[in-house]
Amino acid sequence: MRRRFSYVTAEEAKEKIANALSFHVVASETIPIDDAFNRVLAENIVSPFNIPPHDISHFDGYALKAVETTDASVQNPVYFTVVDRLYPGQTPTREIRSGEVCYVTTGSFLPTGVDSIIAVEATKTVNNDQIEVRSKVSLHEHLIPKGSDVEKDQILFKKGHKLRAQDLTMCAALRIGNITVFKKPVAAFICVGDELTDDLDAVAEGTVVNSLRYAVSALIRGSGGEPIYLGIASDDVAAIKEKIDEGVSQADLVLLTGGSSKGTKDVTSEAIDAVGKPGVIVHGLKRKPGRVSGFAVVHGKPVVLLPGLCHSLVVGFYTFVLPLIQVLSGLSDAEKRWVLRAKITQQLSFRRFIPFEQVTFVHVTKTQRGYRADPFVGDSSSFSVLARANAFIINPPQKTTVKTGEEVEAHLLPGFFTLNDLF
């Protein structure tokens, strides 16, 4: 018996998914920091020590206790004995007592017993080991306190943080050479359709090159996942089921492209239900293109049904797969979508026949005054529209016109744009 479509909004779909799937992140692994660029932390990074580890001199001068200079003046010079000399990198061993100072250069670690520096030029050497001070020194003058850059036990980067270049240097400075990050979510995908071929030289009548697999693979990578292509399945329940079984056993999520509309051959949802419970929980999205997208859970793993036309596929991916990969990645801000406001350069009109959101692909570029969005209207299978676009707008169902110059929200999909377009 064929399942009837039941269209839901993206919001409703999200709620159904949250109810059916106990989201979890993928396993973590410990790796050297040199491999950790762009990875997501699976632990908090806590500073094991202070940076700087000691108070440090910011000047060439003498380290002393400021209070001992309180009464110093030209009329009443105060004398100190130089009992030690410290250079950068040397660990202080001798404590400085009352009436004593320690010679230091810029960057020297300070010994205990001192709290301020007087610059060499503000003193007068009386003899080899005695100096004269004729003015009051302020507390902490010319001194960089220990821990003023990084404090011991401070949380520097939280679990869920994506590591940037400078973060890795911070870890190394703290002598943290290995860190625990989340594994990249593995997304297996299957392309369904009797007509499909992966042989670009195939000439047999009725064959269609499975060109979408390349976009799917790149979109998974762009979203932070690791793609595994499981190949083409014919429009046959058993064949599709076999590949889903394979995907569920190997990957963190499984995607199916094609075979998800209402045609007589659309057996993908039947195949999913045959794999396990609860099976298909969302099938039909109030968003066009992309309306035949769906979401299933089998053996606790998410399975996404993506349409077989390229525009629809991109919208389905954005709606269901991107958030999923980001949640599984352990990103603390996995909910964040990339949206920018842009002025549309051409009027858009939508029919109001159904309560669906309508997606229009646009090319967003930066101008002197914000962003502009050039819309492209074309069939859902138009490759050239996608090639010209770098974003899309989602028009709400009740709105039938977007006027020229009107501001719209352009949605960005990782893998689908380059930053040179936007900055």
Three-state DSSP at 169 gives helix
Distance in Å, CB of 360 to a second copy, minimum: 15
Distance in Å, CB of 330 to a second copy, minimum: 14
- The residue (of 10 and 33) whose beta carbon lies closer to a second copy is 33
Three-state DSSP at 228 gives strand
Task: Give the Cα separation of 30 and 316 in Å (integer).
Answer: 33
* Consecutive H or E run containing 221: helix 212-222
The secondary structure of 121-143 as a DSSP string is GGEEEEETTEEEE-SPPPTTTTE
- The residue (of 177 and 405) whose beta carbon lies closer to a second copy is 177
Query: Is the bond leading into 307 cis (omega within 30 degrees of zero)?
Result: no
- The residue (of 168 and 254) whose beta carbon lies closer to a second copy is 168
- Per residue, the 3-state secondary structure of 172-183, as one string, reads HHCCCCEEEEEC
- The residue (of 77 and 145) whose beta carbon lies closer to a second copy is 145
Distance in Å, CB of 385 to a second copy, minimum: 8
- The residue (of 22 and 89) whose beta carbon lies closer to a second copy is 89
- The residue (of 67 and 387) whose beta carbon lies closer to a second copy is 387
Distance in Å, CB of 380 to a second copy, minimum: 11
Distance in Å, CB of 340 to a second copy, minimum: 6
- The residue (of 11 and 335) whose beta carbon lies closer to a second copy is 335
Distance in Å, CB of 278 to a second copy, minimum: 31
Task: Give the Cα separation of 247 and 168 in Å (integer).
Answer: 34
Q: What angle do CA 198, 199, 202 make, to 5 degrees?
A: 130
Distance in Å, CB of 408 to a second copy, minimum: 15
- The residue (of 269 and 390) whose beta carbon lies closer to a second copy is 390
Distance in Å, CB of 284 to a second copy, minimum: 21
Q: In this structure, are residues 248 and 297 in contact, taking their beta carbons and an 8 Å threshold? A: no
Query: Is the bond leading into 375 cis (omega within 30 degrees of zero)?
Result: no
> Greatest CA separation found in the chain?
106
Distance in Å, CB of 418 to a second copy, minimum: 5
Q: In this structure, are residues 323 and 15 in contact, taking their beta carbons and an 8 Å threshold? A: no
Task: Give the Cα separation of 354 and 286 in Å (integer).
Answer: 9
- The residue (of 10 and 216) whose beta carbon lies closer to a second copy is 216
Q: In this structure, are residues 97 and 77 in contact, taking their beta carbons and an 8 Å threshold? A: no
Distance in Å, CB of 34 to a second copy, minimum: 6
Dihedral pair phi/psi, residue 7, rounded to 5°: -70, 130
Dihedral pair phi/psi, residue 222, rounded to 5°: -60, -30
Beta bridge partners of 394: 359
Distance in Å, CB of 120 to a second copy, minimum: 18
Listed residue (316, 396, 408) closest to 364, CA to CA: 408
Residue 189 per-residue DSSP state: E
* Consecutive H or E run containing 165: helix 165-173
- The residue (of 22 and 384) whose beta carbon lies closer to a second copy is 384
Listed residue (421, 359, 345, 347) closest to 395, CA to CA: 359
Enter the tokens of residue 364: 């967003």
- The residue (of 185 and 276) whose beta carbon lies closer to a second copy is 185
